[in-house]
Structure 1
Amino acid sequence: MTDRTRRDVVKIGATGLVTGVAGCSGAIPEDVARRAVDGSAPSAEPPELGDFSDAKLDRARSVGEAARAAVAVIRGESGQGGTAWFLDDGRLVTNSHVVAGSDSFEAWPMDGEKFEPELVGTSDYRNDPYHDVAVLETDVSPANRLSLGESDSVEVGQPLVQVGHPFAIGNWVVSIGRYVEPGNGETLLTSVPTLSGNSGGPLLTLDGDVVGITTGAVPRDRLGSTRPEPVDLTVHEEFTDYEWTTHDDTSVVRRYVEEF
């Protein structure tokens, strides 16, 4: 993505938050991400997609600062990596596609002290794209832990915050967007800026409640098409169309944490 394109779709304010809507390639395979919704386009543009007030950005900064202490970088032996976060029961949560192909893992919390979590179990995201959760265990005591809230309490247009490690931006990046609408199969659609590396990150309300786990993204202009159609023949030098970010809701996370 060029600097011009990034300025078009992402605004980095004085607060240090990434705001607005950004394109997201995501780590999740495109066909899996596309099946994460039921083919129905969002019914309407959510109100006030961007343009957050200073008060909202300050609140997001505060929530993000606290959440960063519960978030870790995670990488598997396969070279795949993403975002993980500590639950209040002492476990780590990330996406199953982040840990796919690896048996051993390295992780780093905010203080930089590397640890090696052990994989407890994963969902089968390749056959069930609506569920993309992995659970790990560790003896490490982080500076903070996150609690699961209720995804069905979120309202259309509500500001939501994400913390993760988008490769093109950096580590422990806080981003803000809005809830768009439910996807399908216990998923949420938001406008929270996301890039590869954000996979597995927590999605939080401005009250600090976790309402989802980031799984990938789907192109907005393709959600309404159930039959693939060729686009006009164009040689693209850059992509500027942004995408909705997809998240498994907390009922999915809770289910696999309890199962494993």
Structure 2
Amino acid sequence: MHSTIAGLGEPRGPRFVSPALPADEQPPASPAVAAVPAAPTAPDPAVGNPEPAVGAPRWPRLLLAGLTVVAVSTGAGGVAGHLTAGDAPAASPGSAPAGPTGSTAADLVTAADQVLAGVVSVRVTSGGRGASGSGFLIDDRGHVVTNNHVVAGGNTFQVVGRDGRRLTARLVGRDPGTDIAVLRVDPGNGLRPLPLATAGQTRVGEPVLAVGSPLGLSGTVTAGIVSALDRPVRLGAGARQPALQTDASINPGNSGGPLVNGRGEVVGVNTAIATLEGSGNIGIGFAIPVERAAQVAQGLIARG
């Protein structure tokens, strides 16, 4: 069976400017990433007259400028979005160190095996065109959490489980402001609801797994850590909201899939990645904290 993997689309959106960058050295308005020399260099007749070497090297600041002009794309295949990070600190000073969180390789293997039974690929079609993303079962009534930008504009919806079965789904509701949506499939489908992590227990440095269908590759698991808590970001047209930052690899198609800890508990809903101009995943991904996602999802279910 032939399948076409939808691409990332054209990255777009506001620039991300690091709070560490001095005001007088803000990156230019153009989204192009500045070329960064490995070290200060003297003029080269072959290329004109670049800045000569000086006593105080500027390349670290040039590097910072180059890395802070980024385009952000959503993780759903064929659907592009944007994100703007704020200038809040990555985590509160004096945060408690992470406790036992299932950090061994064996724990992560066990966690992956547990969650894959509740993670699905989400297929959306509209007017002969399609998009794809990920989702996960949140209860035993067949409700599936995903991202709003995965389902927005869709007319028909399907979810595909670990065993390859395609299940027809209906849209229960969606919330563009938080980028959360809920689908529903008939109960008794063999999908397993995933447990949710306790609010406030996630820690920076905690190992996590991103589970979903990047580039249409269903059942993909990638590992990383929680890089930051409460990172203010703006998703789509929504207001700025705190998000989890992770270095677990997130790519187009991962949107709506779970970010889980070493105990197999969902800590967030994968939503967006940061990219340098013209590149893909660079190890900076964002997830909606599970407590907010669950609250929004329950509201949509109650109204749907």
TM-score (normalizing by structure 1): 0.70
Match of 2:293 in 1: 253
Indicate conservation of the 8 Å contact 1:64/1:162, yes or no.
no
Match of 2:261 in 1: 205
Indicate conservation of the 8 Å contact 1:121/1:134, yes or no.
yes
RMSD: 2.7
Give the secondary structure class of the aligned counterpart of 2:215: coil
Q: Deviations over 1:90-122 (max 9, x none)?
A: 211100000011021011111222111110000
Indicate conservation of the 8 Å contact 2:250/2:281, yes or no.
no
Q: Deviations over 1:110-165 (max 9, x none)?
A: 122211111000011xxx3xx11101111142342112223421111110112111
User: Structure 1's 241 and 43: CA in aligned 2 closer, same or farther, altered over 3 A?
Assistant: farther
Structure 1's unaligned 5+ residue stretches are 1-23, 45-54, 222-235
Match of 1:14 in 2: none
Confirm whether residue 157 of structure 1 aligns to residue 209 of structure 2: no
Q: Deviations over 1:146-194 (max 9, x none)?
A: 12223421111110112111117x2201111111112122311111111
Distance 2:209 2:104 in 1: 10
2:138 pairs with one of 73, 82, 87? 87
Distance 1:70 1:216 in 2: 21
Mapping for residues 217-256 of structure 1, pairs under 5 Å: 217-219=273-275, 239=279, 242-256=282-296
Letter in 2 for 1:173: T
User: Structure 1's 239 and 186: CA in aligned 2 closer, same or farther, altered over 3 A?
Assistant: closer
How much does 1:30 deviate?
4.3
Give the secondary structure class of the aligned counterpart of 1:150: coil
Distance 2:205 2:254 in 1: 21
What percentage of residue pairs aligned between the two structures are identical? 27
Distance 1:76 1:206 in 2: 31
Distance 2:280 2:115 in 1: 30
User: Structure 1's 76 and 30: CA in aligned 2 closer, same or farther, altered over 3 A?
Assistant: closer
Distance 1:161 1:201 in 2: 10
Indicate conservation of the 8 Å contact 1:186/1:252, yes or no.
no
Give the secondary structure class of the aligned counterpart of 1:117: strand
Distance 2:125 2:288 in 1: 25
How much does 1:41 deviate?
6.8
Match of 1:49 in 2: none
Mapping for residues 2-17 of structure 1, pairs under 5 Å: none
Give the secondary structure class of the aligned counterpart of 1:217: strand
Determine which structure has more spread, i.e. the larger CA radius of gyration: 2
User: Structure 1's 177 and 134: CA in aligned 2 closer, same or farther, altered over 3 A?
Assistant: same
Higher relative contact order (CA 8 A, sep 6+): 1
Distance 1:148 1:30 in 2: 27
User: Structure 1's 123 and 241: CA in aligned 2 closer, same or farther, altered over 3 A?
Assistant: closer
How many pairs are equivalent?
A: 204
Match of 2:222 in 1: 175
Match of 2:15 in 1: none
User: Structure 1's 82 and 241: CA in aligned 2 closer, same or farther, altered over 3 A?
Assistant: closer
Distance 1:97 1:111 in 2: 25
Letter in 1 for 2:164: G
Indicate conservation of the 8 Å contact 1:162/1:204, yes or no.
yes
User: Structure 1's 215 and 241: CA in aligned 2 closer, same or farther, altered over 3 A?
Assistant: closer
Structure 2's unaligned 5+ residue stretches are 1-71, 93-102, 233-240
Distance 2:213 2:267 in 1: 19
Distance 2:152 2:202 in 1: 30
Distance 1:201 1:76 in 2: 15
Mapping for residues 92-111 of structure 1, pairs under 5 Å: 92-111=144-163
Give the secondary structure class of the aligned counterpart of 1:198: coil
Distance 2:194 2:269 in 1: 12
Q: Which aligned segments of 4 or more residues in structure 1 are displaced greater than 2 angstroms? A: 24-31, 39-44, 55-58, 140-143, 238-241
Q: Deviations over 1:170-220 (max 9, x none)?
A: 22011111111121223111111111011000111101111100001124x
